Structure 1
Amino acid sequence: MTTTSTVQDGILFVRLSGDLIGSPDTDQLLNSVNEHLGEALNHCAVDLSEIRYINSTGIGVLVSLLTKFRSRGGEMVLINPADHPKKMLALTKLTNIFAVASDEATARQQLIPAAN
């Protein structure tokens, strides 16, 4: 899995591709996000459009990230989950917990009002 992250408008955007299934990939994702948490960022958007496969470990990491941001008074949005992640989120009923946006612009709109 590859992870890239950028900060725009006070929002951490994380783009993932490949399979989100466990170490060392999940460690890389958590480390990347933790580095940015020192920048007083409270909002995050995670792009899952290029994730082919996600297992329970990957789901657990997403829940962990959501908890990190919400405990700081922030929010996290998932961007355009690919088919398998979308099915896993529905199967685990996490679609009721995670905010989902169709694209980066929509995610930004959902998070910027939360930042004010």
Structure 2
Amino acid sequence: MKADFESYIEGKSFIMKLKGDLIGDESGPKLVGKVSDALNEGITNCIIDLSQVRYISSSGIGVLITILTKMRNAGGEVYLTSPSEHVKKLLIITKLNNIFNVYDSLEEAREKIR
């Protein structure tokens, strides 16, 4: 099942809720495009809700890193929230947990930004 997502702007944050598998298929460029649109509107915080993501491939990791690079180049930040145990292990193995801000819940990330 490929990744599907919904996104919205809440205050000064761009929030994306991903569902399914993040495998960097055609959804990858769409996600990056949405982030670029948010940046063009002056939004510099991006929260990515991973609670409904089952699997992330190496291409999916590439998509996350591209988003992170775009946000940081604009002086912004990316927050990953609610990863499953499987996704959490992947973030640790790839050392991405040291690069990204990872929170257990969307609410926790919102609190950090406020």
TM-score greater than 0.5 by the shorter chain: yes
Give the aligned partner of residue 51 of structure 2: 49
C-alpha offsets along residues 2-54 of structure 1, whole Å, 9 cap, x if unaligned?
A: 11111112100110000000221212211222222210111110001100110
Q: After the TM superposition, which residues 44-83 of structure 1 pair with which residues of structure 2 at under 5 Å, given as runs?
A: 44-83=46-85
TM-score by length of 1: 0.90
In the alignment, structure 2 segments of 5+ residues that lack a partner are: none
Letter in 2 for 1:42: T
Deviation at 1:83, TM superposition (A): 2.4
Structure 1 SS opposite 2:78: strand
TM-score by length of 2: 0.91
Decide which of 88, 100, 103 is 1:101's aligned counterpart: 103
**CA RMSD of the aligned region, Å?**
1.1
Decide which of 4, 7, 21 is 2:9's aligned counterpart: 7
Runs of 4+ in 1 over 4 A off after TM superposition: none
In the alignment, structure 1 segments of 5+ residues that lack a partner are: none
User: Number of matched residues?
Assistant: 112
For residues 106 and 11 of structure 2, what CA distance do their matches in structure 1 show?
A: 12
For residues 106 and 9 of structure 1, what CA distance do their matches in structure 2 show?
A: 15
Paired residues of 1:75 and 1:111 also in contact (CA < 8 A):
no
Deviation at 1:60, TM superposition (A): 1.1
Decide which of 35, 38, 41 is 2:40's aligned counterpart: 38
For residues 25 and 104 of structure 2, what CA distance do their matches in structure 1 show?
A: 28
Give the aligned partner of residue 22 of structure 1: 24
Identity level (%): 41
